[in-house]
Structure 1
Amino acid sequence: MEQKTSLLGMTIAELRTVAAEVGLPAYAASQMADWLYKKRVSEVAEMTNIALRKREVLAAGYTVGAREPAEAARSKDGTVKYLFEAAAGRFVEAVYIPAEERDTLCVSSQVGCRMACHFCMTGRQGLGANLTAGEIMNQILRLPEATQLTNLVFMGMGEPLDNVDEVLKALEILTSSYGVGWSPRRITVSTVGVAAPLRRFLAESECHLAVSLHSPFAEERARLMPAERACPVEEVVALLKEYDFAHRRRVSFEYILFDGVNDTMRHVKALAALLRGLPCRVNLIRFHAIPGVALRSCSAEKMIWFRDALNARGVVCTIRTSRGEDIQAACGMLSTKRLLEKRH
């Protein structure tokens, strides 16, 4: 049986091509986009302002491609981790994080990841596949809390800029009037700093940027994040200093504090020197322990000290609230558990 092509994740230009292929007028592309991204239908048959005969022709070769979450784990703090099935029986995670003033969704861009960060469970899976724009959009549109979302962060499984074509396509759909229609200021994309795709992202999107930093020292960062050898943080910062971010986007650096590893005054001074002259902020994150890794989280007191020491040196620094540890909300934890269950 021939597999149908998913419409979810198609841009308006791609939908025009589909319309022409099945004998629909060009304006039918906008109709399909409205059904997909605003009305969020599950079946082609629901696109009722398209003639029945044409819908039947469309449905013969195409499907919406929507998938409901396969599983959900709920935290006592309100955080919900959803698993969505992806290629070859693998799973990707989307984490819904409600708060008083905003409801955020953390989405995945890859099945697994090839960056192999020492502190990340997803990296242990290796790279299984890149998600399509449709699979990325599905995490957002099929979320039970989809209508409550105020913010979106590409900080789930995978390195978004290692899948830059599909991520940029998803960002176009999310921020275009034909699509979801969000302001790019509601979306943040995280990266280790892959140079060429980062330049593309900065040129083609106005969404916020978050860089995984974790140490200002090259060798130490390389032990935590092997990608440092290909994506040196000094070069990433130098690249960012080429751009004027005053009114376009927010740039932040993610910094997990590990007890006795990257939490000294030496690190404070080096961070302040590295980021001098770049309008940005540093987000301090508490480490969620993962099996087989000896790294430990810093105390709350140490995190406050580190934040205040950076602020005193002119670097805007905040502490991110830790959420969902009781449901294995750290990136890759739950999907790895399900993957191992399938193998056994």
Structure 2
Amino acid sequence: MTKKTPLLGKTLGELKAIVQDLGMPKFTAGQIASWLYDKKVSSIEEMTNLSLKNRERLMENYEVGASAPVHEMRSVDGTVKYLFCTPEGDYIESVYIPDDDRATLCVSSQVGCKMNCKFCMTGKQGYTTSLTAAQILNQIYSVPERDTLTNVVFMGMGEPFDNLDEVLRALEILTADYGYKWSPKRITVSTVGLRKGLERFLEESDCHLAISLHSPFPSQRRELMPAEKAFSITEMVEILRRYDFSKQRRLSFEYIVFKGVNDSLIYAKELVKLLRGLDCRMNLIRFHAIPNVDLEGTDMESMIAFRDYLTQHGLFATIRASRGEDIFAACGMLSTAQQQAEKKEKESETF
């Protein structure tokens, strides 16, 4: 059977090219976009304002391309971690995080990751492949809470700027009038910082930006995050200074606080110095322990002192509440567990 191409993840321009190639009226592209991104249908058969003949033409080589999660884990605090399986049999994770009047979905952009950050379970998997826009959007399209979401963050598995073409395509669909019609203010993209990706993102998208920082000292950041070798945090900050973050786009820095590593006021003072004059905020994050990594989270008293110093010296800081600690909270944990379970199953079948 010929593998069909997903319509999910196609921009209006791409849909126009498809209908033109199939000899269908031009306006059909807008109808298809409406069925996909407004009505969120699961099959082409449901696109009832297309003629039966045009639906049949479309179904010969295309499908909606949505697929439900294969597994979920629910936390006592309401957080839900979803596991998706790609058509190639790879696993990715999304996390639904309810918080008062906000409902955030954290989505993945790759299977595994090339960045190999010391504290990240996804990096321990290595890199397998980048997700298509269809696979990125499917994480939003196919969760039960999709119609109540207020925010989406690209902070799941993978480095978004290492898959920027597909991420930008997904962002276009999320914010376009023919798509989800979301404000860019509802979307945040997180990155370790890749020079070409950063500059292009700043030029081509108005979505919020979050930079994984974790140490203000380049030598130490290099130990935690090998990407520092190619593009240092000091160079990154200089590029960020050229852009106006005071209006639509928000700039934030993510800082995981490790006990005895980066939690003293020496680090807080250096952060103030590094980011002075930059319109930004700092998100302090408690570390979720992962196997075989000699790092641990600091205590809340130290985090509060760290936050207060930053805020008192002009760098607005918040402590991100820990969520879902009872359900493989750290990114990459659930997919890794699934991979290991399947590996053991295959090994047992050989004996």
TM-score normalised by length of structure 2: 0.97
| Structure 2 counterpart of 1:151 | 151
- Structure 1 contact 289–295 (Cα < 8 Å) conserved: yes
1:52: which partner in 2?
52
In the other structure, the counterpart of 2:215 is 215
* Alignment-derived partner of residue 5 in structure 2: 5
Residue pairs, 1:111-190, within 5 angstroms: 111-190=111-190
Q: CA deviation at 1:21?
A: 1.4
Q: Secondary structure at the match of 1:89?
A: coil
Shift of 1:246: 1.5
3-state SS of the aligned residue for 2:24? coil
Would you say 1:200 and 2:206 are equivalent positions? Answer: no
Structure 2: give runs of 5+ residues left out of the alignment: 345-351
Q: Is the 8 A contact 1:5 1:63 kept in 2?
A: yes
Query: What CA distance in whole angstroms lies between the structure 2 residues aligned with 1:232 and 1:325?
Result: 32
How far the C-alpha of 1:341 sits from its partner, in A, is 1.3
| AA matched with 1:83 | L
3-state SS in 1 of match to 2:88: helix
Q: Give the residue type in structure 2 aligned to 1:156.
A: G
Please report the TM-score for the alignment, with normalisation by the length of structure 1: 0.99
Contact 1:86 1:111 survives alignment (8 Å): no
Q: 4+ residue runs of structure 1 moved beyond 3 angstroms?
A: none
Q: Could you say what secondary structure the match of 1:318 adopts?
A: strand
**Alpha-carbon contact 2:45-2:55 (below 8 Å) kept:** yes
Instruction: Report the Cα offset of residue 87 of structure 1.
Output: 4.9
What SS does the aligned partner of 2:311 have? Answer: helix
Q: Secondary structure at the match of 1:50?
A: coil
1:343 to 2:343 alignment: yes
SS class of match (1:162): helix
Other-structure match for 1:97: 97
Q: Which amino acid aligns with 1:102?
A: R
Residue 318 of structure 1 corresponds to 318
AA at the equivalent of 2:265: M
Pairwise CA RMSD of aligned residues? 0.7
Structure 1 unaligned spans of 5+: none
Aligned residues: 344
Counterpart contact for 1:111–1:128, Cα < 8 Å:
yes
How far the C-alpha of 1:245 sits from its partner, in A, is: 1.5
Partner of 2:61: 61
Q: Secondary structure at the match of 2:326?
A: helix
> Aligned to 2:196, what secondary structure does the other structure show?
helix
Matched-pair contact (CA < 8 Å) for 2:95–2:105: yes
CA distance in structure 1 between the partners assigned to 2:105 and 2:54 by the alignment: 36
Shift in CA distance, 124/20, structure 1 to aligned 2, threshold 3 Å:
same
The CA distance in 2 between the partners of 1:52 and 1:252, in whole Å, is: 50
User: For the Cα contact (< 8 Å) 2:245–2:280, is it kept in 1?
Assistant: no
Partner Cα distance (2:36, 2:207) in 1: 22
CA distance in 1, matches of 2:245, 2:76: 38
